[in-house]
Amino acid sequence: MLVPFINIGNEYHLLLQKRAKSIRQGSEICFPGGKYEPENDADYQATAVRETVEELGINPDCIDVLGRLGTHIAPMGAAVDPFIGRLNIPSLDMLTIDVNDVEKIFSIPFSFFLEQPPEIYAVRLEIQTYYIHKDGEKEVLFPSEELGLPPIYHKPCGGQKHRVFVYRTADGIIWGITAEIVYELVKLFKHCK
């Protein structure tokens, strides 16, 4: 994933995109990114640049990768490796989005995030060893009873809370890993200031 900054009117903005409705996690706000393709990508940074080029229609020579943030793990297990980049273009009008992946792009001044702390919520994550379908049929996902595991594993367990950041913007709600990355950037910026 690339976290792209663009200089607009002598102020750095974060460039974000709204996913096309027809794709996985459609209509969510995110940064450009996608899956590592070993046949095309030398490393995760190459993935971030390739996906940005594909989704935003930008020349790769206009992207400066400035650094890398730590790996983020989504509650469902997906790993995201964000790279910080600068797009060397005068305006968003220089971009031609891939409408199959992206509904729209927009930018928000980074100062907005420095001045506006996120709302903080939580979701509850629970381990389910079985699943009851709508028709009442039970599907065993992990045969804990058959394996002779302690009874605690025969029913849902865990129930840990997972923190969720939310930024409300004029262009929509930024949440999930995207908001986690923005929050990390703000912390780094304030720490280095």
φ, ψ (nearest 5 deg) of residue 138: -95, 125
The phi, psi pair for 29, rounded to 5°, reads -90, 135
Q: Are strands 2-8 and 83-87 parallel, antiparallel or unpaired?
A: parallel
| Per-residue confidence (pLDDT) for residue 122, from 0 to 100 | 93
pLDDT at 25: 76
- Per-residue pLDDT, 75: 76
Contact 12, 110 (CB under 8 A): yes
Strand partners, 80: 72
Superfamily name and number for 2-117+172-192: Nucleoside Triphosphate Pyrophosphohydrolase (3.90.79.10)
Residue-wise pLDDT for 9-48, tens only, equals: 999 999 999 999 888 777 899 999 999 999 999 999 999 9
Q: Give yes or no for residue 156 having a pLDDT over 90.
A: no
Q: Residue 119: CB partners within 8 Å, gap ≥ 6?
A: 165, 166, 167, 168
Q: Report pLDDT for 76.
A: 73
pLDDT of 49 reads 97
Amino acid 126: pLDDT: 83
Instruction: Report pLDDT digits (tens) over 67-99.
Output: 999 998 887 778 899 999 999 999 999 999 999
Average per-residue pLDDT in the chain? 93
Q: Give the predicted TM-score (pTM) of the model.
A: 0.87
- pLDDT of 104 over the 80 cut: yes
Pairwise CA distance, residues 80 & 20, whole Å: 20
Q: Where, residue-wise, is CATH 3.90.79.10 in the chain?
A: 2-117+172-192
Q: Give yes or no for a contact between 58 and 52, defined as CB atoms under 8 angstroms apart.
A: yes
Task: Answer yes or no: is pLDDT of 118 > 80.
Answer: yes
